[in-house]
Chains A and B, each alone.
Chain A
Amino acid sequence: MVEELSKTSVLTISPGQSAVFVEKQLGEKTEIVVGAGAHIRHYRLHDGQDHMLSVRIEQGASYEVITLHRGNGNLMLSFDLAQENAFCRSDIVYVLHGKQESLIRSNVRHNADNTVSRQMVKGAVGGQAFAAFEGGVFIPYERKKIDGAQQHRALLLSPDAAVNAVPQLEIYADDVKCAHGSAIGSLNKDQLYYLRTRGIEEQEARHLLTQAFLDEVFDTIAEEDIREEFKQLAAEGLQNGV
């Protein structure tokens, strides 16, 4: 069952509940508590004012969110793995064009033992747009058996586009396995060439490759209609900025 949400400010998931949410209108702030053992998947479109999401994940619960950010308003995300065996996946796709400028900030805090976090952030920035990604993974003193991973990949699609990235690991405990990576670059020239030798126009080839780059995130959406819709929304966000 997929449930449509709109501009939720507070969402409390009862223990043990499983649900899939889609939310295409975001308010200023959303606070979510995922009760023990609950399993939530949440797909969000951010395309308006500044938005802040703060999520608390309790004992054995999992919260998986994919956010598509289309360059309007800044996006602030905060995840609190508050109790043992909590799991969080918080993927982000951002697409910016024209003169858009935005800041995307994410904080994952492993406040309990045996917690796992995953984050894949993919961005495509065209025109004269500018995106800044600041992503933190924080592990306080004395925590044990922590596994955190964060990846950020950005494509600069035009000569005037720019991206800043500050992925941060802040770790105060030794029983951890953490990794992060970040890369900023352009479309692979060999791939572009390959497509063009097959008769695909350059503009189209660029579109195709950019889509494929972002699809790595979208393809994890199990519900086909949501998946296709988000791909479409991302394509609109690029607005031929490719």
Chain B
Amino acid sequence: MSAWLEIKDLHAKVGDKPILNGLSLSINAGEVHVIMGPNGSGKSTLSNVLCGNPHYEVTGGSVIFKGKNLLDMTVEERARTGIFLAFQHPIEIPGVSMATFMKYALNSQRKAAGEKELDAVSFMKRIKIRSQALEISDEMLKRPVNVGFSGGEKKRLEVFQMAVLEPDFCILDEMDSGLDVDAVKVAGNGVKIMRSPQRSFLVISHNIKFLKEQIMPDKIHILVHGRVVAEGDQGLLDKIDRSGFSEYQKEAVA
């Protein structure tokens, strides 16, 4: 029985620069995994490659998600299969309100799944329940996507989108970076609410406290030079907290 998400020997580059050099890892349904590693080790590249960002070129390996070859799919096909990326730096779309954006996203996903588009009332209901839980005001939903929001608000809106779209696999890229303590809590709460046996998470973060208190992962992967060099349970977090990545970096170079 193969895992729910299986990444095998993944190679990828940006321009001429190889970033992922044979990365392998697997995640089962309902699990929460964490990716850690020094700057430039390929964490964000991994999240972008999984989502199909055309800026990154896959040069080898495979990614199987729910039995499908992810690498053969377009960006939106992957999204419609249930992959969601909470962006490290959410992108501004002037003139398009968050509510409109979610309506388009949700309906295009439903259409792809052969479901009926949501009418205005059911859509608003779906939005409202989630926005209230995440302390997102109606005014925020009317404003254009990510334009003029603080870092914390943007991250909260990423969690909100995740809650609305109900994906099967969530990648959180530096969800907690640049947030104050309260905002980290709101973000973490969002993840807690979303956890379910049918949903897996891949969390990229440096913040040991955030990971231990809010995320409580099942497994931790240490990424160095585009490869997984160590794996473990929450105990590994304490080890990293004490001595950082230097031990792994040496190994990787050697």
**Direct A–B contact in complex, judged by CB atoms less than 8 Å apart:** no
Give the interface of A toward B (CB within 8 A): none
